[in-house]
């Protein structure tokens, strides 16, 4: 893949996935009544529409088979789904409201069923049986599935090198229980990343007229606050590095006690401006450096927390 095409693909991926809380533009609609599945930051296609019964989201078996970390098989003769993970076996039979984890029987909120020739299984039960985290967002009608990261990614996240830890943090699955707002201005391929100085486990992502704040919780990152803003007029937003009027917001605005570092990524040239922003809003740009999408580098003079 040539450099220009790589940058174009990277920009599109950021625009569609970067702001899980409010900017899944072109992919999800706040007005849509259809249930969508976001698995490890990618929307899953299904030939049978997921549905909710007894508070449980039912999905086609082939979608559950895509959840990393397990092996899931269907026996058509016995109408049995078998999930194997780390030597443990989980079985459920179509039409039955119980399943077995090893030899222990557990009750299901909804039984597996056959719909339009497809085996439909309870997503939460199947995903959590693989160790994945599942979150239903009724505001967006999206089910977020976050599988456990690899040991390699966990080690990178725990690295003493901030650039490596931040790169790993952006690779984690992202989930949101917040609203989704209409976003504009992301076509240019410019995006901003803000980290509290010395931290990799908390960050802001901004593009167009949108910004979202994330915190790492367990093996995934969660949107804690999300907003859109009007960059045409100056106003207090509550964030010292964002001097614009907030037009929509959901969640809890974080309180920052120290300066932030920033990466201003320009996808069309594959470079990023970088530097510091002080509590009084003073911005110091230290330079420009080549940067791949969401692959960070060390910022000179930064003090690790």
Span between the terminal Cα atoms of the chain, in Å:
38
Beta strands at 80-85 and 88-93: parallel, antiparallel or unpaired: antiparallel
Query: 68: pLDDT confidence band, cut at 50, 70 and 90?
Result: confident
Q: Which residues pair with 134 in a beta bridge?
A: 145
Of the CA atoms within 13 Å of residue 300, those in its CB half-sphere come to 7
pLDDT of residue 9: 35
pLDDT tens for 74-104 read 999 999 999 998 888 999 999 999 999 999 9
Residues 207, 193: Cα–Cα separation, whole Å: 9
pLDDT of residue 120: 92
Determine what percent of the chain is predicted with pLDDT higher than 90: 70
pLDDT tens for 2-31 read 444 344 333 434 444 444 544 333 334 434
Residues 77, 233: Cα–Cα separation, whole Å: 66
Query: 46: pLDDT confidence band, cut at 50, 70 and 90?
Result: confident
CA dihedral 216, 218, 220, 223 (to 10 degrees): -50
pLDDT of residue 257: 94
Element (H, E) at 285: strand 283-290
Beta strands at 104-107 and 113-115: parallel, antiparallel or unpaired: unpaired
- Does 133 have pLDDT greater than 50? yes
The Cα-based distances of 149 to 6, 130, 292 in angstroms read 25, 12, 21
- Does 272 have pLDDT greater than 90? yes
Arithmetic mean of pLDDT over the chain: 87
Beta strands at 142-146 and 36-39: parallel, antiparallel or unpaired: parallel
pLDDT of residue 188: 66
């Amino acid at each position: 893949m040539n450099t220009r095409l790589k940058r174009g693909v990277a920009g599109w991926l950021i625009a569609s996935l970067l702001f899980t809380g409010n900017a899944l533009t072109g992919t999800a609609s706040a007005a849509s009544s259809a249930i969508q599945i976001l698995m490890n930051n990618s929307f899953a296609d299904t030939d049978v529409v997921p549905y909710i019964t007894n508070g449980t989201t039912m999905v086609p078996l082939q979608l559950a088979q895509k959840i990393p970390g397990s092996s899931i098989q269907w026996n058509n003769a016995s109408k049995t789904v078998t999930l194997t993970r780390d030597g443990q076996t989980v079985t459920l039979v179509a039409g039955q409201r119980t399943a077995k984890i090893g030899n222990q029987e557990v009750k299901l909120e909804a039984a597996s069923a056959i719909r339009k020739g497809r085996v439909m299984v309870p997503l939460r039960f199947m995903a959590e049986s693989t160790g994945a985290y599942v979150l239903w967002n009724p505001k967006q009608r999206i089910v977020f599935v976050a599988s456990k990261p690899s040991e390699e990614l966990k080690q990178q996240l725990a690295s003493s090198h901030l650039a490596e830890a931040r790169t790993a943090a952006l690779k984690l699955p992202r989930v949101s229980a917040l609203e989704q707002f209409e976003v504009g201005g992301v076509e240019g391929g410019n995006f901003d990343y803000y980290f509290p100085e010395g931290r990799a486990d908390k960050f802001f992502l901004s593009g167009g007229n949108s910004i979202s704040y994330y915190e790492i919780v367990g093996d995934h990152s969660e949107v804690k606050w999300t907003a859109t803003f009007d960059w045409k007029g100056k106003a207090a937003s509550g964030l010292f590095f964002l001097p614009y009027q907030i037009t929509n917001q959901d969640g809890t605005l974080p309180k920052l006690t120290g300066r932030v570092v920033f990466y201003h990524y320009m996808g069309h040239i594959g470079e990023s401006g970088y530097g510091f922003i002080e509590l009084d809003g003073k911005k110091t740009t230290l330079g420009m450096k080549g940067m791949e999408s969401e692959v960070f580098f060390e910022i000179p003079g930064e003090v690790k927390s």
